[in-house]
Structure 1
């Protein structure tokens, strides 16, 4: 794949990039300090902290940002869903992301993402947009065939796909081609690891909670090594995704930046890249 990229696509991706955060006690303060109002911020769900932590951060940010809480299906009691939806609507939330989640389902919770999506459908689609998960690379705990079939089954209940974090732009392109050949037309938000410090990333994993930390490390067992590899660059990766974004049939909706709560560094990188694009555009226009 060529390293050349259309600056207009890159600027478009950077301007509308979504920022994923973890629901820690201080994260809302960091967002307010470093992220301009109006941006989209997604809030993950942690089995160790409970859905309450996700809701608390959503409440702290909802008046200034487009907040997308993660509604992890296996963390939600079935009889609590109507109250949860009403609460989120009261906060002005119009979009949610529905993964299965890492919690162990019980007889009173939803069993998987599709289970919850069907229930939301029966409630009359209370949210304008609903995101589901996509996996450009193999998931350590789910067979590829199951992943593909699951995304197909969920497509009718969703409006967007958010890809899991990946490091290979060529693999993203090949995956998007396969998705489109199957007739899945939803916009895809490409998951991108922010320019994070691997040592801080490891400390962040330990802050999530003992059980979650183990699950996090198991699911992302290659993340630390690959982020630390000299050959990987968030900047280079994003520029190559910008080249893919110029292909209309792939329907890339934007970037989904995994910040791991290194918000100041991630946002500084994004602004720096926008500045570089602006300078390039100014030089091309000339005096």
Structure 2
């Protein structure tokens, strides 16, 4: 069996091995339909690894609940996304969180969601949190969304300050209700913007650990597509520049430099709270796991 990823903390590691040690803290993201890859996940991930289950389509809630059940049964820690804009009302929220908790989720990622219009009465994560539904169902850990390079849907209208205030409000709620929280970021491509943003958070009193989104190995063409879809900011410029060269469009880009930079921040600047990488398999699971294996040798 190939060397698996692990979510366990690493106490000691040889000099020069910060990136493999950091990667052993990684979580990974799937969609409900990708639960068909469960056998591969069991082969390549350590038991207990956090597997986030994105919700891209509000029609996939039942599939997300089933994926949560299967992941927990397989020994993983499922982390379903709960986007506010995909929740109709409090009755819908109560039923959904109860089902996810019964399926084995005690950690959830609560976010606004990228839909242009909400399908119901909610549009922001704080509205879901303030219902008290999560702790009523035994949810002990809640992640909230972070945007090191901004969120174009919000900042165009309200500016970057609104994102910082939203994080402050959500952190205050989690702490007041004794819920362990963390921040999960959008994916990006460089460590420097993450460091600058994390310093801004700490100066604003936000001390939640940060799990940084990392795009797995993928072609430049694929990365450009996802960057455009997700509104990724300035650090995507070097990807777009490479895309201008047609001969590079099918070149596979690996995140070695990015993860090495994050590992350096994690181990050498711990006050920034860079806790772990969160891996997106944009280029497919095989490419992602082959890359992690090569890095961890």
Shorter-chain TM band: 0.7 to 0.9
What's the CA shift for 1:37?
3.2
Is the aligned partner of 1:119 residue 2:131?
yes
For the Cα contact (< 8 Å) 2:85–2:122, is it kept in 1? Answer: yes
Paired residue secondary structure (2:101): helix
What's the CA shift for 1:155?
1.1
Count matched residues. 260
The corresponding residue for 1:60 is 70
- Unaligned residue ranges in structure 1 (runs of 5+): 206-214, 276-287
Paired residue secondary structure (1:24): helix
What's the CA shift for 1:44?
0.5
The corresponding residue for 1:13 is 22
Which 10-residue stretch deviates more, 70-79 or 23-32?
23-32
What's the CA shift for 1:111?
2.3
* CA 89–218 in structure 1, closer or farther in 2 if over 3 Å, else same: closer
Among 244, 250, 255, which residue is 1:234 paired with? 255
For the Cα contact (< 8 Å) 1:188–1:253, is it kept in 2? Answer: yes
Is the aligned partner of 1:173 residue 2:195?
yes
Among 148, 162, 185, which residue is 1:146 paired with? 162
Among 51, 56, 74, which residue is 1:46 paired with? 56
- Unaligned residue ranges in structure 2 (runs of 5+): 1-13, 175-180, 243-247
The corresponding residue for 1:105 is 118
Among 229, 239, 245, which residue is 1:217 paired with? 229
Paired residue secondary structure (1:50): helix
For the Cα contact (< 8 Å) 2:68–2:104, is it kept in 1? Answer: no
Paired residue secondary structure (1:162): strand
TM-score calculated relative to the size of structure 2: 0.76
Q: Distance in 1 between matches of 2:211 and 2:37?
A: 23
The corresponding residue for 1:285 is none
Paired residue secondary structure (1:131): strand
Q: CA RMSD in A?
A: 3.1
The corresponding residue for 1:70 is 81
For the Cα contact (< 8 Å) 2:82–2:110, is it kept in 1? Answer: yes
Q: Distance in 2 between matches of 1:191 and 1:262?
A: 16
The corresponding residue for 1:86 is 98
For the Cα contact (< 8 Å) 2:182–2:210, is it kept in 1? Answer: yes
TM-score calculated relative to the size of structure 1: 0.79
User: Residues 62-118 of structure 1, C-alpha deviation per residue, up to 9 Å, x if partnerless?
Assistant: 212111000111112320222222222222211000111123224x44221110011
* CA 22–216 in structure 1, closer or farther in 2 if over 3 Å, else same: farther
Greater RCO structure (CA 8 Å; 6+ sep): 1
